[in-house]
Amino acid sequence: MELSIIIVNWNSAALLRKCLQSILSNSAGCDLELLVIDNASYDGSAKLMSKEFPALTFIQSTKNLGFAGGNNVAFQQSQGRYVLFLNPDTEVVGDALNAMLTVLRTRQDAGVVGPKLVNPDLSVQIDCMRAFPTILNQLFDSSLTRIVFGTFNFAGVKPVIKQSGDPVSVEMLPGTCVMLRREVFEEAGRFNEKYFMYAEDVELNYRVKAAGWTNYYVSKAVVVHHGGSSSEQKSESFFSTVMIREAVWEFLRASRTEWYALAYRATTCLAAVTRIAVLCLLRFPTFSHEIRSRATYRSHKWTKVLRWCVGLEGWAHGYKPVSSPPRNGHVLVGREREA
């Protein structure tokens, strides 16, 4: 088996169908296996797989293992020489799989390989490749600063803006879609399950690069990313807003020092206070209803960030969701695996 494609699903059955269809329609010449693990969402994905994709491997976890844990469980049952970790809210376009495989086959130094991520309208997602987190790039990072300062490689987005046709060496690629050799993933220690979500891909890229491999952005490989479908289901509590900061803080503690991580927390606090102050001014009646509505939403978001900075969102530390009740054991495996 040359390629194993692993997809972790959580309440994304509708998008999962499109994802699988896109892979099967664009995998000519690839010797591959597909493994889908549902993180205890019981969203109908088991029925979908049994009815429409019976030849593929389906794993039903009885607890939400997170992105890292789900991928690691499925990886243990995979067989491919190369492994692709793919989000269910994606669609493979054209020859994307072969384009990434070609880089791994022909470049002996290739570590993590990732594609150009695009929106459904095929416009490029500027954050389909990033730099490792630092206090500076986290303090000033936004969609606007990436565009304005992207040519100076702020936040590591220059290769996306320059649109080079050849594979380009980068610091890291997001876990939305990453491919690497099996032995490289093993050498890097697989995904770190300390992170429930949002920084396990950062640490994987970091470990791979630290081991002497080169991470490559492959612009010829195109993958549509619908974006954030799972975490958006918790948007009313700004779940992802808090979890991203928690994950970055944990990564900085591990990769740098405790003091550096505390400095990150302090500067994030300063940024939150500044943004809240500006957003409060935009909520005055002199501004349009649309501006006031956006300012209100964003002030709530940054209030959550401020609360996290001062330790009032303690639930995020070591976050583990409430597990679904067990159903016939910890993990249920599809029929083709039992054979």
The CA distance from 70 to 61, in Å, is 8
Q: Which residues are paired to 85 by β-bridges?
A: 6, 178
Query: Residue 26 in contact with residue 94, Cβ under 8 Å?
Result: yes
Structure tokens at 244: 């991203």
Structure tokens at 112: 């993590």
Q: Which of 15-24, 133-142, 155-164 comes out lowest in average pLDDT?
A: 155-164
Q: Count the Cβ atoms, other than its own, within 10 Å of residue 15.
A: 18
Q: Which residues are paired to 115 by β-bridges?
A: 218
3-state secondary structure of 9: strand
pLDDT at 325 over 60: no
pLDDT for 326 equals 38
Return the CATH architecture of domain 3-225. Alpha-Beta Complex (3.90)
Residue 151 pLDDT level (bands cut at 50, 70, 90): low
- CA neighbor of 49 nearest in space, from 63, 40, 60: 60
Mean pLDDT of the chain: 88
Domain residue extents for the chain: 3-225, 232-316
Question: Could you read off the pLDDT of 232-280 as tens digits, one per residue?
Answer: 444 456 898 999 999 999 999 999 999 999 999 999 999 999 999 999 9
pTM over 0.85? The answer is yes
- CA neighbor of 87 nearest in space, from 145, 156, 7: 7
